[in-house]
Amino acid sequence: MSKIIKYFKTITQIPHCSKEADKLCDFLVNFAQERGYEVEVDEVKNIYIRKGAPVLCLQAHYDMVCMGKAPNIETYEEEGWMKAKDSSLGADNGMAIAMMMQLMDEGRVLEFLLTSDEEIGLIGANAVAFDLKAAYMLNLDSEDEAEVYIGCAGGADITAFRQDSCTEGKGDCYEVAVKGLAGGHSGVDIDKNIPSAIKVLGRYLAEKGVTQLAGIYAGERRNSIPANAVAIVRSESMLENEGEVTVRKLRESPMVLGEGDKLIAFIDAFRHGVRKENRELGIPDVSINLAIINTDEQGGVTIETSARAMDADALEALTEETVSFFEKYGFESKVEDKYPAWKPDVTDFTKLVERKMKEVFGKSRLMAIHAGLECGVIAEKYPKMKFASIGPTIRFPHSTRERVKLDSVEKTFVVLDKIIQSV
């Protein structure tokens, strides 16, 4: 087992879900200081590490999306892949952190920028204000070997709330559930025909003519395709299992939402998924994820969505359309955690990275990704710096199916070493 993999396994045993990564932050600070690096930590727990007068800054985030049993992570290897038992793995972006630890062990003259809370809206990146010295930044958050990323989608989280009333219901009470779907990243997996548990549930309720909704608890994270959704409903006609929907009759007689029928209609009508393809780049151009819907005991309804687009105008149009759609169903909405697209740009640095990739993998190509990379945010803060992004092959991030290809990690580190020696 390589040292990088050992370091990664160490990281998996230190809790670092978004907003709950202080223990890993402290561990990484001590790790760097023990190896003679200067370290700064800002108010949002971004970590800036440096030695000497580096020309290259390596960048990654150290929080992870915790799904399933995470942060209790039990790793195992199968047919050349590392996986986790019943949880997300955290290879996104923990494998990059492990590579950085290996480089610190070797005493490399580099800058390292480790950002916080990337997975919940690029919070750390938006707050970065360190006096970075390097001329080049290499982000290590991409998820396909032999590819060099030079652009990414911008995004915005659009949330909504409506206060409903509660009224007496009629008929029997049922729990209607869609559980254990595949889930996935709401950006890079949004075009892979992964079913949304919320949409499956909404379609079932609409088709069965259910109008009495007592409560709904659906989705896991804003940037994850929903894997689970549960509704408590009243119905005067019998409901039964169908496809991915399981139905359980309850003895309760709960109050129902006064306008539960409108919420069911909203879910069924919401256009979740890819809205437009980018044929030039071979990726989605515009998409939106209907991520989370929850009700409270007082009749409040909260909805969270994650919108993405490859340029600012398309993102603005999607945001306005979504806000109008919420208003149509009586919701008050707000736009949160907006971040810019990183416009694809071929530079001498990206050409260098591509050459080194070809030396190791025998092939390479310049790409853009339909997800938020911190390069977009950081590039606005450091306009003279040149950027590129690489990473090992990771599949199904933000889900319990997450896996990382082990030989890809080793080869990507060789590429990284060649880049460091060449800049």
pLDDT in tens, the chain (423 residues): 699 999 999 999 999 999 999 999 999 999 999 999 999 999 999 999 999 999 999 999 999 999 999 999 999 999 999 999 999 999 999 999 999 999 999 999 999 999 999 998 889 999 999 999 999 999 999 999 999 999 999 999 999 999 999 999 999 999 999 999 999 999 999 999 999 999 999 999 999 999 999 999 999 999 999 999 999 999 999 999 999 999 999 999 999 999 999 999 999 999 999 999 999 889 999 999 999 999 999 999 999 999 999 999 999 999 999 999 999 999 999 998 889 999 888 999 999 999 999 999 999 999 999 988 899 999 999 999 999 999 999 999 999 999 999 999 999 999 999 999 999
What pLDDT is stored for residue 1 in this prediction? 63
- DSSP assignment of 309-330 equals ESSHHHHHHHHHHHHHHHHHTT
> What is the rounded CA–CA span in Å between residue 337 and residue 339?
6
**Start-end ranges of CATH 3.40.630.10 in the chain?**
3-153+341-422
Q: What is the pTM of this model?
A: 0.82
> What is the rounded distance in angstroms from the CA atom of residue 307 to the CA atom of residue 288?
4
* 8 Å CB contact between 393 and 381: no
Beta-carbon contacts of residue 414 (< 8 Å; ≥ 6 apart) = 360
Instruction: Please state whether 3 falls in left (phi above 0), alpha (psi between -120 and 50) or beta.
Output: alpha
Given this model, what pLDDT does residue 345 score?
Answer: 87
Which CA distances in Å does 72 have to 14, 27, 84, 88, 394? 9, 17, 10, 9, 20
- Going by their DSSP bridges, the two strands 283-295 and 300-309 should be labelled as antiparallel
Instruction: Please give the CATH topology (third level) of the domain spanning 3-153+341-422.
Output: Aminopeptidase (3.40.630)
Strands (E) in 116-171, as ranges, are 136-139, 147-152, 154-163, 166-167
Give the Cα separation of 236 and 155 in Å (integer).
42
Strand order in the sheet with 136-139: 38-41, 47-50, 111-115, 56-61, 136-139, 386-389, 147-152, 365-369
Q: What is the DSSP letter of 403?
A: E
